[in-house]
Amino acid sequence: MRHPAPGWVPKVVALDVDGTLLDWVDGNEVMSTAVVDAVRRVRAAGAHVVIATGRSLPGVLDAADMLELDGGLCVASNGAVVFDHPPVELVHTVTFDASKAVAQLLEHVPDAAVAVEEVGTGYRINKAFPEGEIQGELVLQSVEELVAEPVTRVIIRSPDASAEEFADLAEGLGLQGTNYYVGYTAWLDLAPTGVSKASGLQVVVDRLGVDAADVLAIGDGNNDVEMLRWAGHGVAMGQAPLEVQEAADDVTETVERDGAVRELSRWF
């Protein structure tokens, strides 16, 4: 684990959303007032607050509203999309041909729901997802139509499989040309090779004129590992899986105990 140099203060704070800033209680998003207050202190001190999440652009804007963030650069879709707001301006997008990977996966989970991102609006889907899991406008299409053109992101969701089964499946298939992240349920996110929250944040710091060494990053999921390793100081939430905690420089409290607030209070 690395420790910041004496006197180090973050110039950029990169924050995951789900499981870091907000919790899900009985199917509802819950963000404490302490989180909103802590983020306000960070901004008052002159640091940049950057949401870095697997959420698509509409979901990021929802989180920004909850945080009372009135603008700034954001990393969406696990790094495949970087945008500024308001008004929304796409700064950086990366697409890939997902057709082969999706076909491979559906051979093994033919009943899966598939979603591809329509940047800025929502998703095109082959069937309904569980309520509240994806945000924005949803358009129904066949799988063939979904992957006919390059996309920024694909989600594969199977209600009957476990996260472990999905992880084993993805690893066994190899999925050439893609990067993938497994969620806490049978949720698989496919992204272009080399794309992660870290690559998205590199675009952000380049635009801001700072370095990765100036970044404090906080997250809890497998899609946060690259970000936590990349940042000057990476902090895992207390409920994060062991491999995520091992990628971080420090571990804070759980989301239920406002671990992000505790970490931000160390610096601001």
pLDDT class for 25, splitting at 50, 70, 90?
A: confident
Rounded Cα distance between 25 and 97, Å, is 36
List Cβ neighbours of 251 (8 Å cut-off, separation of 6 or more): 235, 236, 237, 238, 240, 245
Q: How far is CA 198 from CA 8, 159, 267, in A?
A: 21, 29, 22
Report pLDDT digits (tens) over 124-150.
999 999 888 888 899 999 999 999 999
Mean pLDDT of 149-157: 95
Bigger pLDDT: 107 vs 182: 107
Identity (one letter) of the amino acid at 65?
D
Report pLDDT digits (tens) over 168-177.
888 888 886 7
Q: How far is CA 137 from CA 7, 47, 103, 115, 120, in A?
A: 46, 33, 24, 12, 9
Nearest to 54 by CA among 202, 154, 175: 154
Mean pLDDT of 50-73: 95
Q: What pLDDT sits at residue 133? A: 86
Task: Mark 127-145 as b/e (b = at least 16 C-beta within 10 Å).
Answer: eebeeeebbbeeeeeebee
pLDDT class for 1, splitting at 50, 70, 90?
A: low
Residue 212 predicted with pLDDT over 80: yes
